[in-house]
Structure 1
Amino acid sequence: MPPLVAVNYRKYDGTLHWNLRMRRLGEDDHGVWLGLPGGAVMRKGFGPMVPIPCAHVILLPRDAWWTAVFNAPPRATEIYCDIATPARWLSSHEVSMVDLDLDVLRKRADGSTLLVDQDEFAEHQVRYGYPADVIAEAEAAGQWLMDAVDGRAEPFGDASREWLGMVDGERS
């Protein structure tokens, strides 16, 4: 059984946001891949556990301002990218990043790619006092992801299939 990794998204003020424990599947040119079968759980802060019905994998790229979740069918959102500060490995069993609100997703049914949560991003720039360089990095990552996800550039083409195959069909 692959080792579990604590995946902790935080908000800019340091408060715990979405968090879960995932299996470390491996690493390739795109970054580190973590995964869980359907039936796993996650939580927002210290709130109640939220079930995750479908298998999924997370890609943690090296030195990039985003992370990407690839969901197995029948999940309506095929790919969900969080604009976030680069992932920091606190140990081999814990990774953390700051969620910067903007998300890029690709819908399974029609393949449309969307940039969402611009209102939350604008609100949090004021609430948390995002520095200008953080705002610029987040906006640049959002534009890059819109082009890459929509164009199915790797890792948003076939790269996730093998990794997703490692956890799809299992139950946690």
Structure 2
Amino acid sequence: MRDVRVVYRKYDQRLHWHQWMKYLGEDQYGVWLGAPPNSVSQRGAEPEVSHSQAHVQLFRRDQWFTAIFNDEPRRTEIYCDISTPVTFGETEFTMIDLDLDVVKRRDGTIYVDDEDEFAEHQVLFGYPADVIAAAQASCDRLVQAVATEEPFLTIYKTYLDKIR
């Protein structure tokens, strides 16, 4: 399994979340990377954060989001970052985080997070109208998809099995 660096930036290009993950494969849903238990991630230059549970991440081609699937017992089961489409490199995947997040808790609760940050950054960073529209449309679609469609129901669990 090759290592891939995942790099999220903000619209002004400053480094946001980043971490190294293992390439797990590609299927009809996209490219899957995994991080075993006790892996680390980092926001910008802040101290590293250790993750006691495994997680896998889905990167879809030409879609305005990425999705993280957390192993139990983490309370957040699925965390979708609304972002620009991913730029896929051999050893690095990059995208711009557009603030909005669709979150599914382990109890089944689904909600949109950081709408205030999305509104604030539209002004601060001058998001173009087409970026705003694409981000909002992706967010709106994901709220329903996370509850009713694959790979958000069971498929991701096969990738979690691979990385544990």
TM-score range, shorter chain: over 0.9
Answer yes or no: is 1:126 the counterpart of 2:123.
yes
Gaps of 5+ in 1: none
> Could you tell me whether the CA contact under 8 Å between 2:67 and 2:80 is conserved in 1?
yes
Cα separation, 1, equivalents of 2:35 and 2:49: 14
- The alignment of Structure 1 onto Structure 2 pairs a total of residues equal to 164
Equivalence for 1:40? 39
Measure how far apart 1:52 and its partner are. Answer: 1.1
Equivalence for 1:105? 103
Which amino acid is the alignment partner of residue 29 of structure 2? H
Q: TM-score, normalised by structure 2?
A: 0.98
- For residues 95-154 of structure 1, the C-alpha deviation after alignment (integer angstroms, 9 at most, x for no partner) is 10000000001000x201111100000010011000000000000000000010122x01
Mapping for residues 1-172 of structure 1, pairs under 5 Å: 2-89=1-88, 91-108=89-106, 110-151=107-148, 153-168=149-164
Measure how far apart 1:166 and its partner are. Answer: 0.7
Let me know the Cα RMSD of the aligned residues: 0.7
Which amino acid is the alignment partner of residue 57 of structure 2? I
Q: TM-score, normalised by structure 1?
A: 0.94
Measure how far apart 1:48 and its partner are. Answer: 1.0
111-120 vs 45-54, greater mean Cα deviation: 45-54
% of aligned pairs identical? 51
> Could you tell me whether the CA contact under 8 Å between 2:147 and 2:153 is conserved in 1?
no
Cα separation, 2, equivalents of 1:125 and 1:137: 13
Cα separation, 2, equivalents of 1:127 and 1:21: 30
Cα separation, 2, equivalents of 1:127 and 1:52: 32
DSSP-derived class of the 2:74 partner: coil
Measure how far apart 1:167 and its partner are. Answer: 1.2
